[in-house]
């Protein structure tokens, strides 16, 4: 029991220490994120502080099937256990356990996900529930850098806002602008140093 508690605490701390948790509140963004193909996210109850991290990956052969996994270890990229399936049928989505599920229907991590998912597909996020992604694109898994992308949990290309070429060019432009700013800042600093020497 003590071990279990300290282990849970350890996971929580290692997650908090990473400092990479981004809250999303828009239910369309959340839905787009979790079903993007490669999504890692945490849901947390504001009332109890209990949280679970899940990974949802789209099946390679059948794009209407998504595997739902729950985090069971300290590495939030790899320590996942199989929970169940989300299946898409036209516009409707259904979550269910399969014979390979490692948890029962009444396990807290199953109940939490089922509740969250059922509401989400109706466009509802419980007001006492927080949703976070980890700063990685839900579709390709690359780190997100632009505020707009972080808000949505998808990079511009994966969100279908941009061609890959545009994205690369924009990224380049952004870096050059930043470089320019840094240089100007250095110039100002040098000038101040010179001025203060003269005075």
With binding defined as CB under 5 A, does residue 140 bind Zn ion?
Answer: yes
C-beta closer to Zn ion: residue 74 or 160: 160
C-beta closer to Zn ion: residue 12 or 142: 142
C-beta closer to Zn ion: residue 109 or 144: 144
Report the C-alpha gap between 159 and 170 in whole angstroms. Answer: 15
With binding defined as CB under 5 A, does residue 137 bind Zn ion?
Answer: yes
Assigned token pair, 169: 């060019």
DSSP-assigned letter for residue 60: S
Number of residues that bind Zn ion (CB under 5 A): 5
With binding defined as CB under 5 A, does residue 155 bind Zn ion?
Answer: yes
Report whether 58 contacts 69 (CB < 8 A): no
Name the segment binding Zn ion (CB under 5 A); options: 89-97, 125-133, 158-166, 172-180.
Answer: 158-166
Assigned token pair, 28: 């369309």
Report the C-alpha gap between 45 and 141 in whole angstroms. Answer: 25
Beta strands at 38-45 and 92-96: parallel, antiparallel or unpaired? unpaired
> Which 20-79 residues touch Zn ion, going by CB under 5 A?
none
Assigned token pair, 46: 């504001």
Name the segment binding Zn ion (CB under 5 A); options: 15-23, 83-91, 152-160, 169-177.
Answer: 152-160
What end-to-end distance do the CA atoms of the chain give, in Å? Answer: 68
CB of 158 to Zn ion, least distance (A): 3
Assigned token pair, 95: 């979550």
C-beta closer to Zn ion: residue 84 or 155: 155
With binding defined as CB under 5 A, does residue 152 bind Zn ion?
Answer: no
C-beta closer to Zn ion: residue 140 or 188: 140
C-beta closer to Zn ion: residue 109 or 150: 150
CB of 4 to Zn ion, least distance (A): 36
In sequence order, the 6+-apart residues with CB closer than 8 A to the CB of 199 are none
In sequence order, the 6+-apart residues with CB closer than 8 A to the CB of 184 are none
Chain residues binding Zn ion by CB under 5 A are 137, 139-140, 155, 158
């Amino acid at each position: 029991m003590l071990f279990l508690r300290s282990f849970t605490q350890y996971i929580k701390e290692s997650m908090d220490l990473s400092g990479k948790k981004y809250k999303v509140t828009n239910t369309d963004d959340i839905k787009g994120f979790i079903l993007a193909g490669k999504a890692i996210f945490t849901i947390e109850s504001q009332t109890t502080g209990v949280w679970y991290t899940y990974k949802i990956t789209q099946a390679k052969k059948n794009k209407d099937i998504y595997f739902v996994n729950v985090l069971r270890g300290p590495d939030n990229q790899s320590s996942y256990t199989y929970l169940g399936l989300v299946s898409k049928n036209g516009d409707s989505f259904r979550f269910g356990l399969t014979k390979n599920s490692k948890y029962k229907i009444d396990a807290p991590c199953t109940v939490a996900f089922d509740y969250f998912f059922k509401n989400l597909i109706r466009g509802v996020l419980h007001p006492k529930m927080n949703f976070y992604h980890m700063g990685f694109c839900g579709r390709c898994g690359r780190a997100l850098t632009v505020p707009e992308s972080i808000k949505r949990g998808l990079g511009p290309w994966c969100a279908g806002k941009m061609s890959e070429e545009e994205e690369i060019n924009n990224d380049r432009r952004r870096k050059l602008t930043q470089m320019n700013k840094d240089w100007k800042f250095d110039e100002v600093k040098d000038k101040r140093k010179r001025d203060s020497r003269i005075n």
